[in-house]
Amino acid sequence: MYRLFLIAVLLVIVYYLIRRAIRKIGPDGALEKSKGGGVPGNHMVQDPVCRVFVPRENAVEEHIGGQTYFFCSRDCATAFQKQLSA
């Protein structure tokens, strides 16, 4: 009797896990983003000049040409702007 109860509980758990996983997959087959839609604060971004990764919350954010870029320092931001103007 206990075995049947244990199997039933495990089947219910597996059902809910599968249902939850299917809901996260969008119609195009890709995983959907979380409902918050924002990027978490500890998300790493890559500096386009020196190619190092820095936490987004610590990065220097610059809006250049309608796009947002993240840099490890103000010097890299200045160097990037000089590269674009050249």
Domain regions of the chain by residue span:
1-32, 36-86
Residue of 56, 69, 53 whose CA lies nearest to 81: 69
Q: At a CB cut-off of 8 Å and minimum separation 6, what does 43 contact?
A: 55, 56
pLDDT at position 65 is: 84
Residue type, 1: M
Q: Which tens digit of pLDDT belongs to each residue from 11-70? A: 999 999 988 888 777 666 666 655 555 555 578 999 999 999 999 998 999 998 889 999
**pTM of the predicted structure, to 2 decimals:** 0.51
